[in-house]
Structure 1
Amino acid sequence: MHKFLFLLIVPLIGLGQSKLDDVDQLLHNKDYANAERLLTNYLKEHPQDLKAIELLGDAYGYQEQWDAAISKYKMLVQANQTNANYYYKYGGALGMKALTVNKVRALSIIGDVKKAFLTAAELDPNHIETRWALVELYMQLPGILGGSTDKALQYANELEHLSKVDGYLSKGYIYEYNDQPDLAETYYKKAIKEGGSLTCFDKLTKLYETKNQPEKAIQNIEEAQKIHQRNALHYQIGKVAAEYNIELQKGEACLQTYLKNYSSRDGVPKAWAHYRLAQIYLHKNNKDQALKHIDLALAELPEIKPFVQEKEKILSM
């Protein structure tokens, strides 16, 4: 009898898991509306399935439906008060909602955001994402609401014990936020030496751009290119050259290489490379080439405001 019941249950479990696997794929493909639809129907028959509730919260979050996401994540923390990831997602959704409402309403939410993240950190001493969230929260909150560089550094130190790269990046973030670029540069360079990922290089590049040091930005991107050999980095060099009117020959060559080797994996549409080339040719006072490339950019993405403004600038040469 028990064996017979087991044989009945197994196919049902398999069917449910199959549906959730389909949802995972939909989320991976950014088909959030269909994922939401499948999960909503699935939960009508399996209302206590925590994995499905979590995925539905994720689907809502990807669509920036923060109230709906908060509702699902709240169900999770009420169902399982020992799961750090549930508290982390709940706090994250609350935090995103706080960014969309007026200041008075946001102030009433911040306490719950902090409580959720602190609970997640306490439940799981190895939860890296929560510690990152706390670093950012304590840096962005004003002091009167509990913001504190010391507390942010406390969690950055915890991150460093868990992952040296995350620790260095978080400290770079803290010092950059506090307008201490030399210390920020030191820690971003430590992150590059320790991990060497594109993320590490990108943080340092953006610091240099923010501090109006385009030459250093280009040098850093070139170092990244030596290691990672990514076509997208050609675009980044061209972008810096165009924006800051420096090393125009190098910028032009890099953008032409980007266009020649372009694939959808590169991320930045070809139109933006043509726009940067138009900027470079404008710097060179080459109206014909500038007009050619801005027209190519507009042909692909005609509604982009910077493209329209650039053409007006070129035509007024």
Structure 2
Amino acid sequence: MKFILLLFLVPAMAFGQSNFDEIEILFKKKQFTKAEQSVRNYLKKHPNSLLAIELLGDAYGHQKKWDDAILQYQKLVKTKENNANYHYKYGGALGMKALSISKLKALGIIGDVRDAFLRAAELDKNHIDTRWALVELYMQLPGIIGGSKSKSLHFAEELEALSKVDGYLAKGYIYEYDDEPEFAEKYYKMAIKVGGSVTCYDKLTALYENEKQPEKAIENIEAAHKKHQRNAMHYQIGKVAAEYNIELQKGERCLHTYITNYSAEDGVPKAWANYRLAQIYTHKKNKTEALKYIGLAITELPNIKPFKELRERILEQ
């Protein structure tokens, strides 16, 4: 059994109190070990602070300390049984634990995961994240232990009533997971039309790549770039061109643009763009340029296995 839960371990933002200013900064800096220690120190003097308990659970969650996170969220659920977000975080931490243990052991807690999410959905009719979690949970669980496409679609409908974009994306996910790419494409396109966010475009691009339709993938990325003007999309086009050996000139041009305009916000290190250029030059039978760019990739990230493997293939040409 394998499922992905949309657990957003975002710390509670209702800080208000000056005592939590330092903790808020630590979370923003992703210094979760220090945040954990700060919250623990605060709880020594204020053991009944629900906000501090929640923050401690969040700090544990970011560090993948699932048992510790579960314990904190469980305290919250027992203290305030009618708080939907507490049930959501509790179910999410349980779900993430299920992913980290054996399938047999995971079976023992799946019921608790489902119950926590269902309780959160019952308590808050507008809780979008919980409904996303239920969409994924019901799709990815085997039928014998409660998996159900119809139930997943039910929560997708609830999502659509709250947010058309989320509803369309959820339905696209369901049909993609159920190997019905035509329906998945339909709903991802509807999400793009209504919302048009980078996420909407990315879902459709990923579908096209999974369905081995690189031409459509590139066309969709270009449409996304026309609207959002993000440098990262140059890398996406180059990646598809390199992987599928199509539109090599366009891929080459986009990768050079990506490298020229690169910033840390683009996400993918320049080494990967150089690797894709090496792939393109390999397709073009240009051994000299291929070696040049794979060399640049390895210099920047020397321990990446695909880089080394490509270099060996180039040398064997």
- Name the TM-score class by shorter chain: over 0.9
What is the CA distance between 1:82 and its match in structure 2? 0.9
Distance of 2:294 and 2:32 partners within structure 1: 34
Percent of aligned pairs with the same amino acid: 68
SS in 2 for 1:99: helix
User: What's the counterpart of residue 87 of structure 1?
Assistant: 87
Decide whether aligned partners of structure 1 residues 16 and 192 sit closer, same or farther in structure 2, where only a CA change above 3 A counts. closer
User: What's the counterpart of residue 254 of structure 2?
Assistant: 254
User: What's the counterpart of residue 77 of structure 1?
Assistant: 77
User: What's the counterpart of residue 268 of structure 2?
Assistant: 268
User: What's the counterpart of residue 315 of structure 1?
Assistant: 315
Amino acid in the other structure paired with 1:189:
K
Distance of 1:294 and 1:314 partners within structure 2: 9
User: What's the counterpart of residue 118 of structure 1?
Assistant: 118
What is the CA distance between 1:115 and its match in structure 2? 0.4
Whether 1:154 aligns to 2:158 is no
Distance of 1:96 and 1:163 partners within structure 2: 26
User: What's the counterpart of residue 243 of structure 1?
Assistant: 243
Alignment size in residue pairs: 303
User: What's the counterpart of residue 143 of structure 2?
Assistant: 143
- How does 1:52-67 map onto structure 2 within 5 Å? 52-67=52-67
Please identify runs of 4+ aligned residues in structure 1 that moved more than 4 A: none
What is the CA distance between 1:18 and its match in structure 2? 2.4
Whether 1:217 aligns to 2:214 is no
RMSD of the TM alignment (CA)? 1.1
Could you report, residue by residue, the CA deviation over 1:225-281 in whole angstroms, capped at 9, with x for unpaired residues?
A: 000000000000000001111100000000000000011111111111111111111
Instruction: Choose between structure 1 and 2: higher helix proportion.
Output: 1
Could you report, residue by residue, the CA deviation over 1:132-190 in whole angstroms, capped at 9, with x for unpaired residues?
A: 00000000000011100000000000000000000000000000000000000000000
> Which protein has greater RCO, CA pairs closer than 8 Å, 6+ apart?
2
Q: TM-score by structure 2 length?
A: 0.94
What is the CA distance between 1:16 and its match in structure 2? 8.9
Whether 1:104 aligns to 2:104 is yes
Q: Which runs of 5+ in 2 are unaligned?
A: 1-14
Q: Which runs of 5+ in 1 are unaligned?
A: 1-14
What is the CA distance between 1:52 and its match in structure 2? 1.1
- How does 1:184-203 map onto structure 2 within 5 Å? 184-203=184-203
Distance of 1:269 and 1:23 partners within structure 2: 30
What is the CA distance between 1:101 and its match in structure 2? 1.1
User: What's the counterpart of residue 19 of structure 2?
Assistant: 19
Could you report, residue by residue, the CA deviation over 1:204-236 in whole angstroms, capped at 9, with x for unpaired residues?
A: 000000000000000000000000000000000
What is the CA distance between 1:21 and its match in structure 2? 2.3
Amino acid in the other structure paired with 2:308:
V
Amino acid in the other structure paired with 2:259:
L
Could you report, residue by residue, the CA deviation over 1:289-309 in whole angstroms, capped at 9, with x for unpaired residues?
A: 111111111111111111111
Larger radius of gyration: 1
Distance of 1:169 and 1:21 partners within structure 2: 36
**Mean CA deviation greater in 176-185 or 292-301:** 292-301
Distance of 2:97 and 2:173 partners within structure 1: 23
